[in-house]
Structure 1
């Protein structure tokens, strides 16, 4: 797994992003501070140089005269061997003296009141920093105004900027390294409980469903509780499965043992009539076993929480007619009157066709096996309802809730498996329907209803 697909990598990325942004801002601030500091330092040198020159300007022979002190320019020529230029200009803008005719600055409307101002200029393909000092003679004979223009190349400024930036950069990089190391340790320490949780899960016996007992932070404690809830549900599912397997093995053991006993007894007989009687008993036991096995498979499918039936719009009238056609012959042979009472108009519900047929099959089979002589399947429209009513012995009110549990039979003659109504109840839950048991017509028999939610056409 790559770092980008891990929680550790994502935390590092999200925490490193503001850290890198802060580092970039600090570098930008360091660069701006270094540039401003270098400019202030050299501008002060420009100020001192222009002042030293201005103090040496005098009035002789009816004109301005300058005796330039060497130190006035040497202070600007540092280790970077910068080139320094100066120029003395009278108030009419005429060049009086200097080693270069430096240009005038015209956009000085915002600095007219200042004795000194600075500009970055390009002169004769040289990038210069120009300082202009406006002054006048201090003598009593003349108050002549003049300008002292001093400029120098930028090598020293750039070198000073880089030197200041390197000093700041060392501190920034040191703080950045410390922050990254702290971040790595913090993220690793924060994820350590998750690592302990992962190790605890990996080292568990796969056969145990006991809850996790592990001290964790609040956020991971919620995950631990969710896992414990899942384990509790799995314990309940396993308990139900174990109980179901035990009940199913008990239910299947009886008919299979009966078949084996009947076959063994038949092998000891010599009369064909006795063989015929034994074969009839074996056939009946085999049918009961096959029906029980089919019901167990149906109940297992319904108990599977991952199984979701595909619900499609179905007409309950069609379901009833199909069930009557499928079971009419068997009921007629058993002397049972099977009929249908359908609605005049279609009654549509969202349902699974095979599950509804499975429910009707179990209800018809239950009624026929428990002694009903007349069975009626019907449909009502408001709300959509599917019912089956018989004239059999019925189920007492005290037993109606118990018979919905698997393997609970209403009688002890061994004919029923106790799964029919449990299957119907499971199908009702899958469809969001309500299963209800009540007395039949005139207080006789049993009426079973499935009330479906309203469904748009």
Structure 2
């Protein structure tokens, strides 16, 4: 089973990932801030305890003496049941009294006033916070230096940090839930126009190619205009197809009806000569009908507005020689002199060989059908051009533009379909060439020239 991707799921994923990362950073910051706040609170108690102990230090019997009040340590004892340690050291670093020998702090301090240092240490397998107050006796007889070292375990700090973190987590989770809810609503609201566009397209009749009229945001309005442009191209294609169907039905109705009438008339005859006459007429009609059908298909393909062929490099000299070879037998059979005059060097353009061959074929066939006795195919190098000149009756200047219209005949000749020059004009437009109808060089006849934009290697 193929799992279809979802724009809603993709937007939700790409918006939730940064939100989750931000939430993780907020939780980490809340944890760091909770520990810092707990340390500040307990460090105040640690400072008060060292100060209370230092105030009780006296000089008696030529040595430091301490009468520790119970309140000095009770202020560090909480319901977390921390363990509290203290010690008094003289100026030489010798232990005087206390309930544990605590390590010294190697950091140096200033010479003026009391100084309190804090640090976290691992002491006898216990993680403790130690505070060291370096002070001196303020007696007029003695100014002995000493250190008060106090340490207590971190149970209370950890509990306070956890309580602070829980309070922050409740706030963070509430804000995260609110943000996710708003995000879901925002995504649905943002995708609502896309849903309306999908429903509008789904509700349309497949035969309807009219533009979409739907109010949409700018980004989706571009998509709507793209769809409308596609619908417009489809309308042009359908119009081209309908025109082809109408032209084909109109142009093929008469020869097909003639074939049917000839066949029916021949079936009523018993004379073989009449049968042969009918078969010859039917053969001529079928040839004309086949040629007409081929020309209709060519014209329809050329008139297709979505037809964008890929052009290739061609030599006009080679095309002209090939066209003469292809049509020489038909012209020779009708007593027509068909020749070719090419430029000295290859004439390169970008085009479609089969289309240009068809254009030359239509021009040669038109000249042959309308009374020409001499037909010449020429190429020119500057600018690149193809030319077909004949000595037939020609076309008056006032009717030359009309001859480029489909089904417009220059004479009452029933063999013609009026599509030859229209097809040549379509091929010229496909190649970006200019089609002109001119008088022949002798003043009698017609010269048709296709001038291409320029040299192309």
What are the residue-to-residue correspondences of 1:198-347 with 2, within 5 Å? 198-304=198-304, 307-347=307-347
What are the residue-to-residue correspondences of 1:124-163 with 2, within 5 Å? 124-163=124-163
Rate the CA distance shift 1:313–1:231 in 2: closer, same or farther, 3 A: closer
Which of 188-197 and 393-402 deviates more?
A: 393-402
Rate the CA distance shift 1:379–1:110 in 2: closer, same or farther, 3 A: farther
Which of 133-142 and 432-441 deviates more?
A: 432-441
Which of 268-277 and 88-97 deviates more?
A: 268-277
Structure 2 residue aligned with 1:352: 352
Structure 2 residue aligned with 1:31: 31
Distance 1:355 1:443 in 2: 29
1:56 Cα deviation from its structure 2 partner: 1.0
Distance 1:191 1:112 in 2: 70
Structure 2 residue aligned with 1:44: 44
1:177 Cα deviation from its structure 2 partner: 0.8
1:304 Cα deviation from its structure 2 partner: 4.4
User: What per-residue deviation string (whole Å, max 9, x for no partner) do you get for residues 199-220 of structure 1?
Assistant: 1111111111222232323332
SS in 1 for 2:295: helix
C-alpha contact 1:111 1:117 (8 A) present in aligned 2: no
1:50 Cα deviation from its structure 2 partner: 0.7
Distance 2:277 2:113 in 1: 133
Q: Given the alignment of the two structures, is residue 419 of structure 1 paired with residue 419 of structure 2, yes or no? A: yes
Which of 176-185 and 408-417 deviates more?
A: 408-417
1:317 Cα deviation from its structure 2 partner: 1.2
C-alpha contact 2:433 2:450 (8 A) present in aligned 1: yes
1:19 Cα deviation from its structure 2 partner: 2.1
Which of 210-219 and 319-328 deviates more?
A: 210-219
Distance 2:271 2:50 in 1: 143
Rate the CA distance shift 1:113–1:391 in 2: closer, same or farther, 3 A: farther
User: What per-residue deviation string (whole Å, max 9, x for no partner) do you get for residues 26-76 of structure 1?
Assistant: 222212211211110111111111111111111111111111122222222
SS in 2 for 1:443: coil
Which of 318-327 and 416-425 deviates more?
A: 416-425
Unaligned runs of 5+ in 1: none
User: What per-residue deviation string (whole Å, max 9, x for no partner) do you get for residues 296-328 of structure 1?
Assistant: 222333344565544332221111111111100
Structure 2 residue aligned with 1:169: 169
SS in 1 for 2:248: helix
SS in 1 for 2:216: coil
Structure 1 residue aligned with 2:400: 400
Distance 1:429 1:307 in 2: 12
C-alpha contact 2:244 2:296 (8 A) present in aligned 1: no
1:358 Cα deviation from its structure 2 partner: 1.6
Distance 1:410 1:159 in 2: 106
Rate the CA distance shift 1:347–1:68 in 2: closer, same or farther, 3 A: same
Rate the CA distance shift 1:433–1:144 in 2: closer, same or farther, 3 A: same
Distance 1:49 1:360 in 2: 112
Rate the CA distance shift 1:311–1:214 in 2: closer, same or farther, 3 A: closer
Q: Given the alignment of the two structures, is residue 14 of structure 1 paired with residue 35 of structure 2, yes or no? A: no
Which of 405-414 and 159-168 deviates more?
A: 405-414
Distance 2:151 2:3 in 1: 59
Q: Given the alignment of the two structures, is residue 95 of structure 1 paired with residue 95 of structure 2, yes or no? A: yes
Rate the CA distance shift 1:305–1:243 in 2: closer, same or farther, 3 A: closer
Rate the CA distance shift 1:25–1:444 in 2: closer, same or farther, 3 A: farther
1:344 Cα deviation from its structure 2 partner: 1.3
SS in 2 for 1:96: strand
Q: TM-score, normalised by structure 2?
A: 0.93
Rate the CA distance shift 1:325–1:28 in 2: closer, same or farther, 3 A: same
Structure 2 residue aligned with 1:370: 370
Structure 2 residue aligned with 1:451: 451
SS in 1 for 2:27: helix
C-alpha contact 2:118 2:131 (8 A) present in aligned 1: yes
C-alpha contact 1:88 1:97 (8 A) present in aligned 2: yes
Structure 2 residue aligned with 1:190: 190
User: What per-residue deviation string (whole Å, max 9, x for no partner) do you get for residues 351-377 of structure 1?
Assistant: 322222122111211221222221111
1:455 Cα deviation from its structure 2 partner: 4.9
Distance 2:290 2:66 in 1: 128
Structure 2 residue aligned with 1:432: 432
SS in 1 for 2:212: coil
Which of 208-217 and 174-183 deviates more?
A: 208-217
What is the total number of aligned residue pairs between the two structures? 456
Distance 2:151 2:455 in 1: 91
SS in 1 for 2:227: helix
C-alpha contact 2:371 2:393 (8 A) present in aligned 1: yes
SS in 2 for 1:426: helix
SS in 2 for 1:281: helix
1:341 Cα deviation from its structure 2 partner: 0.4
Unaligned runs of 5+ in 2: none
Distance 2:125 2:110 in 1: 27
Distance 1:170 1:50 in 2: 36
1:112 Cα deviation from its structure 2 partner: 8.1
SS in 1 for 2:349: strand
